[in-house]
Structure 1
Amino acid sequence: MARGLTFGLLAMLITPTVASAQNYFQALPPDKGFPDSVGINSTWVIVAGLLVMFMQVGFMFLEIGFSRGKNAGTVVAKILTNFSIAALAYWAVGFAFAFGGPANHVIGTHGFFLQGFSDPLKTFPIMGFSDATIQAKFFFQFVFCAVSLAIVWGTTLERIKFGVYVIYGTIFAAVIYPIVSGWVFGGGWLQTKVHAQDFAGSSAVHLIGATGALAAVLHLGPRKGKFGPDGKPRAIPGHNMPLFGLACLVLWFGWFGFNPGSTLNALDGRFTQVVVVTNLAAAAGVIGAILTAYKVTKTIDIGMAGNGAIGALVAITAGSGYVSSWGGVVIGFIAGVIVPLGVYAIDKKIDDPVGALTAHGLCGIWGTLACGIFTVPSLAAFNTVGDGGLVYTGNFTQLGRQAICVAVVFGVVFVASYLIFAIIKATYGMRVSEDEEDAGLDISEHGMYGYPEQFIPAPELVGYGAMPKAVYSASSTTSTQEVPA
């Protein structure tokens, strides 16, 4: 019976794929080829998507670097699992919910399993300006979804049950992210009725992820030992700052797919302008964060320098196709100032190990609002969304639209996520036991340390992998990474 059920499920998954392939190839031109522009633009979109996919490596290294050694390995399993969940859920229904509808839609109604295209050169209405193939556009939007899902878990390190990733990740990638992001840059009502500007996702990707992260941590609570008896926060240092530095550079590199790739077009050369604006903003963010952190702590904070780059990249994501180079510098620098101030303030009450609420949340809000200040009127007209910003027009119209976008995205995602996590907490549970948290998630959730030599005495490493769990638990007492009680 189990075998029959397995084959049945496989048939359900394969059938739409076969149908889609038949529609695709039947619709090819008689000469079995496309115009050169289709191949060039499709190649660019896929390459940009691969750069965004590579950002998963950046998220993995960043979280490992900010974790203690006993929780390094679990991040690898989490990244791989969530990326895979997002791939399947977004293919099945997410892409259709986000882009499969007419202008002003609330939820898309066609394009499930990438089916229903009579002509492969035609695509979802909002992306009709590009002749890249639908498969290229799907892949590019999927990796955006995977990035947003990765952001959710930055606040939950070192104490969450692994199964929570699977449950919430499926709902997020299939429903929450597609619907809300579709409102913002999928031709939905926030884009076409409110005229909110978000070129590549400060709100549609980063704020959505950070809002889910806030809902998660409010249910989960802080790590054991994070707050002392007096309620004051204690530092729980990450175990590998060089790895964190590598993560920041990987993310910076990947962002050159994230923002420029959103042009979906290589032939007009416009993506090169987006590259320059993005890079200048990130550089300004590092400087802003270092100066601000030094003003407060009198030290050159490594974590703040890296998060300054990330926060600035998040902030410029919305305006990268709307603002000039000088506007990008200002937006990035202010984001760099926001990062340390936000991290210091949030850390007093909420345990956010990687600073996700600030870098992706506060900076996502700032970047979205910044369009209402710095958008160049000609670029607004080119993108056919909204108007110029305050510094060019002298009015607050576009800034008001951006504020509505922020309020809607945050409100809807927070309410939905908070309720989902409440249900998970009441049924499956969200947090590992105190003993499991003390031992570390590597061993308690996966039965394997990320750094076995660090936690298991050398003689016991012989036959490692077949040892009883009790031995693992006993050997975990060799860790020197614990925070004092």
Structure 2
Amino acid sequence: MTLEALSSGLDTIWVVLTAAMILLMEGGFALLEAGFVRQKNAVSIIMKVFVDIAFGALMFYTVGFGLMYGKDSGGVIGTSGFLLGGDLSHIKLSISHETYWLFQCAFVIAVISIVSGAVAERINFRAYILYTILMTAFIYPIAGHWVWSVGGWLAGFGMIDFAGSAVIHALGGFSALAAAMLIGPRIGKYGADGSANIVPPSNLPLASVGAFILWFGWFGFNSGSTLSATNGSIGHIAVTTMLAAASGSAACILFTMLRYRKADPPMVINGALAGLVGITAGCAFVSDIAAILIGVVCGIAMVFATEFLDSKRIDDPVGAFAVHGVSGSIGTLAVGLFAMPDLTQSVGRGYAGLLYGGGWSLLGVQALGLAVCCLWGFAVTWFGCKAINKLTPLRVSRDEELVGLDVGIHGVPAYSNEDGFLELGSLKTEPK
């Protein structure tokens, strides 16, 4: 066996393992969202996660990968690679195209899962399937081509987004915001005077386990984006990922103790995730201290963003926009401030952030790319959901929402006991 073949084999194992870690994050999304929503909607969360994986993988294989990584056409879309066929000679990696597709497929599944939480407890299941197809076949792949593909126009400008603070999280977060605004708040979430009513999570221990699984999977998300088992930056990426998550959670613990007189558990959970989202763009290119600072800013900004949405009567049950949209934006811009030239040499640029003598150039490019990704996700989701609503109602009926989507849509409750039974064909449960 040649040294080249051995290196390729190691890289393949690394990428497949980290892809599996990212796919495991779907279990984290499922537990996190099921714990944050009410008990009567837990099954609906699980069903949406299966839609994410099943339809997301099929659509990305059929259409999405070609649009994202196919041979470039004008810097806008790919024109080959559909069904993993056609000319993919421009993708020059030590791993096979199939292995590369698997890793990127895990990413696309994560994107749609961000939107899932923002529309929890009231979206029509059929409408969600159609939106999943739209996101995984079109919205995300097009934006991904602009930033990550050979020939993409934002890549040509020099935008840096190592593992997707903009392409995945900001885009997903602003898509989630559009969907949440369009579908409207849950029944009873806001009072007539505009005040927000607390909807208690059904199971915070379950949500926390989900967050821990997401935290674990994020090491695959970020470190795996090296696409090489022999890349010397893997350790540094893992350290910055850990520090940002820890500082995001710590900041939320201290800040909510000051603001609410109590450490707020849902905020603390989301604080860790906010730190993870924020470091995703620059995990390979910023120092450890910068990673801590990014985590702190993202954790505190997430609290304010959550409060802001409530003040505008925008119902986001799991904080998808605050965690992904806001923190993804902060992390993308942070690269323009904290990128170290000796670390960005790994992407062939050697760009420096504003605080490292690089001037405003990189920060300007990051801001442009961020704005484009956010506007693209928000606009296409907004008009896409309006179109979907003409095909099938975007929102469930009032009766289905009140009884819960588990029984109303899927015909089975998440939890049962010996004292009751489900009346088939009905929207209600009856005691014995």
Contact 1:232 1:348 in 2 (8 A): yes
Contact 2:72 2:152 in 1 (8 A): no
Deviation at 1:385, TM superposition (A): 4.3
SS at match of 1:35: helix
- Residue of 62, 68, 85 corresponding to 2:55: 85
Contact 2:249 2:269 in 1 (8 A): yes
Contact 2:75 2:153 in 1 (8 A): no
Deviation at 1:185, TM superposition (A): 1.8
Cα distance in 2 for residues equivalent to 1:459 and 1:192? 60
Q: Deviations over 1:137-188 (max 9, x none)?
A: 1100011000001001111111110011111111111111101112112234
Q: Using a 3 Å threshold, how does the CA distance of structure 1 residues 373 and 304 change in structure 2: closer, same or farther?
A: same
Residue 186 (structure 2) pairs with residue 223 (structure 1): yes
Residue 379 (structure 2) pairs with residue 415 (structure 1): yes
Residue 25 (structure 2) pairs with residue 70 (structure 1): no
Cα distance in 2 for residues equivalent to 1:451 and 1:188? 51
Note the aligned Cα RMSD (angstroms). Answer: 2.0
Superposition map of 1:268-283 within 5 A = 268-283=231-246
Partner of 2:404 in structure 1?
Answer: 440
Q: Deviations over 1:184-243 (max 9, x none)?
A: 122343443221110000011111211211111111000000001111111101110000
Deviation at 1:468, TM superposition (A): 2.1
AA matched with 2:30: M
Superposition map of 1:194-213 within 5 A = 194-213=157-176
SS at match of 2:311: coil
SS at match of 2:77: coil
Contact 2:36 2:204 in 1 (8 A): yes
Residue 2 (structure 2) pairs with residue 47 (structure 1): no
Superposition map of 1:109-148 within 5 A = 109-116=79-86, 125=90, 127-128=91-92, 130-148=93-111
Q: Deviations over 1:313-333 (max 9, x none)?
A: 000000011112121111111
Q: Deviations over 1:269-296 (max 9, x none)?
A: 3212111111111111111111222221
Residue 347 (structure 2) pairs with residue 383 (structure 1): yes
Deviation at 1:386, TM superposition (A): 6.7
Residue 204 (structure 2) pairs with residue 248 (structure 1): no
**Structure exhibiting the larger radius of gyration computed from Cα positions:** 1
Q: Using a 3 Å threshold, how does the CA distance of structure 1 residues 459 and 154 change in structure 2: closer, same or farther?
A: closer
Residue 430 (structure 2) pairs with residue 475 (structure 1): yes
SS at match of 1:237: coil
AA matched with 1:76: I
Partner of 1:317 in structure 2?
Answer: 280
Cα distance in 1 for residues equivalent to 2:328 and 2:344? 20
Residue 323 (structure 2) pairs with residue 359 (structure 1): yes
Contact 2:11 2:228 in 1 (8 A): yes
Deviation at 1:460, TM superposition (A): 4.2
Residue 67 (structure 2) pairs with residue 97 (structure 1): yes
Cα distance in 2 for residues equivalent to 1:358 and 1:159? 19
Deviation at 1:33, TM superposition (A): 12
- Residue of 162, 166, 184 corresponding to 2:129: 166
Residue 198 (structure 2) pairs with residue 235 (structure 1): yes
AA matched with 2:400: E
Q: Normalising by structure 2, report the TM-score.
A: 0.96
Cα distance in 1 for residues equivalent to 2:293 and 2:150? 29
Deviation at 1:87, TM superposition (A): 0.5
Partner of 1:398 in structure 2?
Answer: 362
Q: Deviations over 1:90-110 (max 9, x none)?
A: 001111111112496210011
Q: Using a 3 Å threshold, how does the CA distance of structure 1 residues 82 and 394 change in structure 2: closer, same or farther?
A: closer
Cα distance in 1 for residues equivalent to 2:74 and 2:352? 21
AA matched with 1:107: I
Deviation at 1:459, TM superposition (A): 4.9
Cα distance in 1 for residues equivalent to 2:371 and 2:132? 23
Partner of 2:311 in structure 1?
Answer: 348
Cα distance in 2 for residues equivalent to 1:269 and 1:175? 34
Cα distance in 1 for residues equivalent to 2:319 and 2:142? 26
Q: Deviations over 1:373-394 (max 9, x none)?
A: 0000122222124721011015
Partner of 2:220 in structure 1?
Answer: 257
Contact 1:104 1:187 in 2 (8 A): no
Q: Using a 3 Å threshold, how does the CA distance of structure 1 residues 279 and 32 change in structure 2: closer, same or farther?
A: closer
Cα distance in 1 for residues equivalent to 2:78 and 2:376? 17
Q: Deviations over 1:9-49 (max 9, x none)?
A: xxxxxxxxxxxxxxxxxxxxxx9997111110010000010
Contact 1:101 1:109 in 2 (8 A): yes
Structure 2's unaligned 5+ residue stretches are: none
Cα distance in 2 for residues equivalent to 1:190 and 1:338? 30
Residue 156 (structure 2) pairs with residue 193 (structure 1): yes
- Count residues in correspondence: 431
Cα distance in 2 for residues equivalent to 1:170 and 1:133? 26
Q: Using a 3 Å threshold, how does the CA distance of structure 1 residues 85 and 58 change in structure 2: closer, same or farther?
A: same
Deviation at 1:116, TM superposition (A): 3.0
Residue 1 (structure 2) pairs with residue 37 (structure 1): no
Q: Deviations over 1:66-96 (max 9, x none)?
A: 1111111111111012210010000011111
Q: Normalising by structure 1, report the TM-score.
A: 0.85
Q: Using a 3 Å threshold, how does the CA distance of structure 1 residues 420 and 475 change in structure 2: closer, same or farther?
A: same
Residue 22 (structure 2) pairs with residue 58 (structure 1): no
SS at match of 1:475: strand
Cα distance in 2 for residues equivalent to 1:153 and 1:382? 35
Contact 1:145 1:173 in 2 (8 A): yes
SS at match of 1:452: coil
Cα distance in 2 for residues equivalent to 1:385 and 1:234? 50
Among the aligned pairs, what percent are the same residue? 37
Contact 2:354 2:363 in 1 (8 A): yes
Structure 1's unaligned 5+ residue stretches are: 1-30, 118-122, 479-485
